[in-house]
Structure 1
Amino acid sequence: MRSSKRMIALVCAGAMSTWLSCTADKQQDEDTFNTQINGKEVNLYHLRNNHGMEMSVTNYGGRVVKLVVPNKDGQLEDVVLGFDSVQEYRESSEAYFGAAIGRYGNRIANGRFTLDGEEYELARNNGPNALHGGPGGFHNVVWEVVEFDDQRIVLQYISADWEEGYPGRLEVQMSYHLTDDNEFRIDYKANTDRKTVVNLTHHSFFNLNGAGKADVRDHVLQLNASAFTPVDSVLIPYGEIRAVAGTPFDFTKATAIGGRIDQDHEQLQFGGGYDHNFVLDKEEVGAMTLAATVFAPQTGIKMEVFTTEPGIQFYSGNFLDGSVSGKDGRTYGYRGAFCLETQHFPDSPNQPNFPSTELESGDTYTQTSIYKFSVQK
């Protein structure tokens, strides 16, 4: 593992006139992240590509703390919500800001599922349901850093048999790569010694106007999804795959996030806005395809999401309420961010007509998702 001073030098290298201020900023950041949790070392790691795009990652929860990209005027914007210290993440752990999610992203009904005739009971942390792997999920553990350089970090976590109620010892490796195409690329790999269910995802809260700057209702979203999975009042899918045509869920053409969000529609009422899984239009299972495009007119920042996964959860910041003070003391207000979580479908272990999330011993779980940034004037 590289020392903190070496990590600072990697991302601050450049013109000498900016090096000292960059070093001071990075050192201040690291002072609030260097700690130990349950006897494991936690640090902050800085990545930077050759075009000035930067990302900061903590191995506590595999969280993306900062993601800095240029806007249409050439100024840098931090486009993800987060906090200035590990302690704040621990105190607000259910916010999931920037976190790795597992073992099972999204909800499992009543915290139960059956696998090969045996019922498993999970920790319930979302009303009657299990959400995002439970309170001790991957967002709340310390990951081991197994590789690190100026553009890539590889994190590893071994989830014990029965952790949060899930069967099997699951070995997970996750790579974050900041490419020179201004992509934030995530590669996942997992193996188990016993049949289990796995659904990994990433949970950055994005605001392309800049974290804590205005809301995201002006962001223009397009989803390559002609169907979604409607839910009940506790956001568990019925098992139906419903066409989006003629509904406020039709983002097959670019539409402002806030354009129809307040319509009188049962599904919007259940979610308090958008908090739904969209079924991606794919000709080949597991193929890397464009899932979503988001554009912020204020900054000109465009984000494209590519994934090998069959679904994507679009969440419109419905539960942000201004009570959370984040980085630099900025308040995260109502609809102050959106999430696009690439995934298999919610509650798949209980829905036989959904794509399977079962992983057999001896098989390898893999998936790749990419968040690519550019400027559109």
Structure 2
Amino acid sequence: LVDRDGTENYPGTVRVSVVYTLTYAGAWRIEYHATTDQPTPINLTQHAYFNLRDAGQSTVLDHVLRLNCAGYTPSDATLIPTGQVAPVQGTPFDFRSPKPIGRDLRAIDADPQGYDHNFVINDANGELREAAEVYEPVTGRSMSVWTTEPGVQFYSGNFLNGTVTGHDATRYAQHTAFCLETQHFPDSPNQPGFPSTILEPGQTYRHTTEYRFAVR
């Protein structure tokens, strides 16, 4: 993919490639690469939805989530980060120990209610490390997320409202799927305390994420 200089007012001609691999070990690997001819912000991710039980016929509120994250980036009413990194301890955002997605969801002050927040991965250093694990207790299916990125956006399908039709003509209602999107922190160009997303000419952006599936 080539994104020309000035597209949506972003500087630089950016060349992007994404490689998807299904491994024999049961993983879905995504490898991103990008280059630019001018300094420009690059923060690539994807927005796949998951329901490990029944492809969206029931909610994911009983899925059990663990996040390898002791901090998160609070956001304002428009979902833009405030620039802070806050501890998850003592908040509805604490998934350091496994718990059902729906346990504390109603305690979140948002409209519609639910999670749509960036979490700070512990000890992220650019190497592949575990960010999250989800377990579905009825089927025994599990999915772990490994990434080279410093953040993961957890979204609990708050805005799903039945207007999208998917597998077996299922209409996806609120909270019938979740997303775990690996990334640099949102709004990084405007937040000097966040890791930089600026790619310089001569540099290559690299980002690898694996979704590893298993049955317990």
Structure 1 length-normalised TM: 0.56
Q: Which residue number corresponds to residue 29 of structure 2?
A: 185
- Of residues 97, 103, 124, the one that matches 1:259 is 103
Does the 8 Å contact 2:112/2:159 carry over to 1?
A: no
> Alignment length, in residue pairs?
216
Amino acid at match of 2:114: G
Cα-to-partner distance string for 1:44-94 (whole Å, 9 max, x where unaligned): xxxxxxxxxxxxxxxxxxxxxxxxxxxxxxxxxxxxxxxxxxxxxxxxxxx
Matched, 1:279 2:120: yes
Matched, 1:350 2:194: no
Cα-to-partner distance string for 1:162-214 (whole Å, 9 max, x where unaligned): 11221110001111000011000011110001110000011101010132220
- Of residues 162, 166, 169, the one that matches 2:13 is 169
Q: For the residues of structure 1 that align with 2:97 and 2:112, how far apart are their CA atoms?
A: 22
- Of residues 144, 161, 182, the one that matches 1:321 is 161
Q: CA deviation at 1:343?
A: 0.2
Amino acid at match of 2:211: Y
Amino acid at match of 2:213: F
Does the 8 Å contact 1:223/1:251 carry over to 2?
A: yes
Amino acid at match of 1:162: G
Q: CA deviation at 1:270?
A: 5.5
**1:70-89 equivalence runs, <5 A:** none
Q: Which residue number corresponds to residue 213 of structure 1?
A: 57
Cα-to-partner distance string for 1:21-42 (whole Å, 9 max, x where unaligned): xxxxxxxxxxxxxxxxxxxxxx
Does the 8 Å contact 2:53/2:138 carry over to 1?
A: yes
Gaps of 5+ in 2: none
Q: Which residue number corresponds to residue 204 of structure 1?
A: 48
Q: CA deviation at 1:323?
A: 2.4
- Are residues 279 and 270 of structure 1, via their aligned partners in 2, closer, same or farther at CA, if it must alter by over 3 Å? farther
Matched, 1:337 2:181: no
Cα-to-partner distance string for 1:292-340 (whole Å, 9 max, x where unaligned): 0000112111000000000000000000112222232111111010000
Matched, 1:367 2:211: no
Q: Which residue number corresponds to residue 147 of structure 2?
A: 307
Identity, % of aligned positions: 51
- Are residues 211 and 261 of structure 1, via their aligned partners in 2, closer, same or farther at CA, if it must alter by over 3 Å? same
How large is the RMSD of aligned CA atoms in angstroms? 1.1
Instruction: Point out the structure with the larger helix share.
Output: 1
Q: For the residues of structure 1 that align with 2:56 and 2:22, how far apart are their CA atoms?
A: 23
Q: For the residues of structure 1 that align with 2:175 and 2:29, how far apart are their CA atoms?
A: 26
Q: For the residues of structure 1 that align with 2:55 and 2:76, how far apart are their CA atoms?
A: 31
Q: For the residues of structure 2 that align with 1:219 and 1:328, how far apart are their CA atoms?
A: 21
Q: For the residues of structure 1 that align with 2:163 and 2:173, how far apart are their CA atoms?
A: 7
Between 1 and 2, higher relative CO (CA 8 Å, sep ≥ 6) is seen in 2
Amino acid at match of 2:198: E
Q: For the residues of structure 2 that align with 1:351 and 1:262, how far apart are their CA atoms?
A: 29
Matched, 1:293 2:137: no
Does the 8 Å contact 1:310/1:344 carry over to 2?
A: yes
Q: For the residues of structure 2 that align with 1:202 and 1:158, how far apart are their CA atoms?
A: 18
- Are residues 271 and 349 of structure 1, via their aligned partners in 2, closer, same or farther at CA, if it must alter by over 3 Å? farther
**1:121-200 equivalence runs, <5 A:** 157-200=1-44
Does the 8 Å contact 1:221/1:255 carry over to 2?
A: yes
Q: For the residues of structure 2 that align with 1:242 and 1:271, how far apart are their CA atoms?
A: 22
Does the 8 Å contact 1:229/1:237 carry over to 2?
A: yes
Amino acid at match of 1:239: G
Amino acid at match of 1:191: T
Does the 8 Å contact 1:235/1:271 carry over to 2?
A: no
- Of residues 54, 75, 86, the one that matches 1:231 is 75
Does the 8 Å contact 2:22/2:28 carry over to 1?
A: yes
